[in-house]
């Protein structure tokens, strides 16, 4: 975050922390561009989700590269609710993102920015010490559809794609949208938890040194790890049970993995599709071949080279947690895209 100037940081804070201003900017967009999007039909909504570090960014970028989808991009920051009016883009040179995972970003890179819409219009009502499951009121869901139309209009597309790891909180509402699909990624629980723990420690350190970095993630609803970490409250007993596991231990992140994917298993529907991270990295051709059949892109999907993820040796956690997580992983694998 040190790459942002003082004026850029001030603009981020002014807009993203003031929901009245940001909601008003969307209202202005609707007034000015309402006639232009009146007859626009969004042909497909594709929502990519999963617990952080499961490959959601890689999948999003590959599908976005087909050129068929509109999405929010870094060039839309920070005036996220005015995709047509915000013409003065903040300059962002290509650089590695803060996760330190080798993924390069620039102004054209799509990213997890539409969570800000939910924060602004739900007024953080689902955010406390945890992120709570919620049903989106009909009027706000309709407002979201209008917002997506504005994004599509600004990009000249008729399909929309979003990567948002928080969408587990509102799955049922999103599936009410016409022609919507949710693609959820999952990963071997111990290596997944180790990756989350590694980033939790890294971001906790960097956010302690750079307060703007913490503000930035909080503004956007990114609470996966770091000093602003908030778990997903997917069942009432979670917070009490999670208190038994310190956040700097592998057990906590394995328990968080169980919490997320156990809930997902109980809420699977025909329009929710599962992809194993291991298949995405070792069998990309097969995975994207199935996605082509599912999403029917006009030009096909450019299959990326195989990716070699970080490996973790000597991982150890509670035998009970490991057994429970392995059982959930096996169930997910039996229902995924390649099964």
Q: What is the pLDDT of residues 18-76, one digit of tens each?
A: 999 999 999 999 999 999 999 999 999 999 999 999 999 999 999 999 999 999 998 89
β-strands 69-70, 180-186: how paired? unpaired
Q: Are 192 and 281 in contact (CB under 8 A)?
A: no
Residue 4 is predicted with a pLDDT of: 83
User: What are the Cα distances from residue 176, in Å, to 19, 55, 59, 167?
Assistant: 26, 25, 23, 13
What is the Cβ-side half-sphere exposure of residue 260, based on CA atoms within 13 angstroms? Answer: 29
**Torsions phi, psi of 44, nearest 5?**
-160, 140
pLDDT at 311 over 70: yes
pLDDT at 165 over 80: yes
Q: Which residues contact 266 (CB under 8 A, 6 or more apart)?
A: none
Q: What is the pLDDT of residues 250-279, one digit of tens each?
A: 999 999 999 999 999 999 999 999 999 999
Please, is 31 exposed, middle or buried when counting C-beta atoms within 10 Å of its C-beta (0-12, 13-18, 19+)? exposed
Residue 335 is predicted with a pLDDT of: 97
User: What are the Cα distances from residue 249, in Å, to 66, 194, 204, 261, 318?
Assistant: 40, 9, 14, 19, 11
- The one-character DSSP state at 239 is H
Residue 102 is predicted with a pLDDT of: 46
What value does the mean pLDDT take over residues 104-117? Answer: 77
What value does the mean pLDDT take over residues 108-126? Answer: 93
Nearest CA-CA partner of 82 in 15, 136, 138: 15
Kindly report which listed range (190-199, 209-218, 308-317) carries the lowest average pLDDT score. Answer: 308-317
Residue 99 is predicted with a pLDDT of: 43
Residue 303 is predicted with a pLDDT of: 87
Residue 2 is predicted with a pLDDT of: 62
Residue 101 is predicted with a pLDDT of: 44
Sign of the C-alpha dihedral computed for residues 173, 293, 74 and 88 taken in this order: negative
Nearest CA-CA partner of 42 in 2, 12, 7, 69: 69
- What pTM was estimated for this model as a whole? 0.92
In angstroms, the CA 132 to CA 67 distance is: 34
Query: How much of the chain exceeds pLDDT 90, in percent?
Result: 84
Nearest CA-CA partner of 180 in 48, 307, 306: 48
Q: Please count the other Cβ atoms lying within 10 Å of the Cβ belonging to residue 93.
A: 8
Q: Map residue 273 onto helix, strand or coil.
A: strand
Residue 315 is predicted with a pLDDT of: 86
Residue 104 is predicted with a pLDDT of: 52
Q: How far apart are the first and last CA of the chain?
A: 41
In angstroms, the CA 169 to CA 268 distance is: 13
**Averaged confidence pLDDT in the chain:** 91
Q: What is the pLDDT of residues 230-256, one digit of tens each?
A: 999 999 999 999 999 999 999 999 999
Distance of CA 283 to the CA centre of its chain: 23
Residue 336 is predicted with a pLDDT of: 97
**Quick check: bond before 78 cis, omega within 30?**
yes
- DSSP H helices, the chain, are 6-16, 19-37, 56-64, 115-122, 138-155, 171-174, 189-209, 211-219, 238-242, 250-266, 277-282, 284-295, 319-334
pLDDT at 184 over 80: yes
């Amino acid at each position: 975050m040190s790459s942002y100037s003082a004026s850029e940081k001030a603009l981020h804070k002014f807009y993203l922390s003031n929901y009245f201003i940001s909601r008003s900017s969307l209202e202005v967009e609707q007034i000015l561009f309402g006639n232009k999007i009146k007859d626009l039909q969004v042909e497909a909504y594709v929502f990519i989700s999963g617990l952080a570090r499961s490959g959601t960014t890689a999948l999003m970028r590959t599908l976005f590269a087909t050129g068929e989808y509109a999405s929010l991009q870094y060039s839309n920051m920070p005036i996220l609710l005015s995709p047509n009016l915000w013409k003065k883009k903040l300059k962002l040179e290509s650089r590695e993102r803060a996760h330190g995972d080798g993924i390069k970003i620039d102004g054209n890179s799509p990213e997890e920015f539409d969570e800000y819409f939910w924060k602004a219009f739900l007024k953080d009502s689902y955010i406390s010490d945890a992120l709570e499951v919620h049903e989106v009121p009909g009027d706000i869901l309709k407002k979201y559809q209008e917002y997506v139309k504005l994004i599509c209009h600004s990009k000249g597309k008729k399909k929309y794609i979003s990567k948002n790891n928080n969408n587990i909180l509102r799955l049922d509402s999103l599936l009410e949208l016409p022609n919507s699909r949710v693609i959820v990624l999952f990963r071997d629980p111990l290596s997944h938890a180790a990756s989350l723990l590694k980033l939790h420690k890294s971001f906790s350190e960097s956010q302690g040194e750079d307060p703007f970095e913490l503000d930035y993630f909080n503004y956007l609803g990114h609470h996966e790890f770091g000093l602003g970490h908030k778990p997903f409250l997917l069942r009432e007993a979670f917070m009490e049970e999670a208190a038994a596991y310190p956040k700097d231990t592998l057990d906590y992140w394995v328990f968080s993995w169980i919490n997320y994917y156990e809930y997902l298993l109980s809420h699977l529907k025909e329009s929710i599709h599962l992809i194993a991270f291991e298949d995405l990295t070792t069998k990309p051709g097969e995975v994207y071949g199935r996605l082509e059949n599912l999403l029917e892109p006009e030009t096909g999907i450019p299959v990326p080279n195989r990716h070699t993820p970080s490996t973790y040796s000597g991982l150890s956690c509670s035998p009970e947690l490991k057994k429970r997580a392995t059982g959930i992983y096996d169930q997910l694998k039996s229902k995924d895209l390649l099964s």
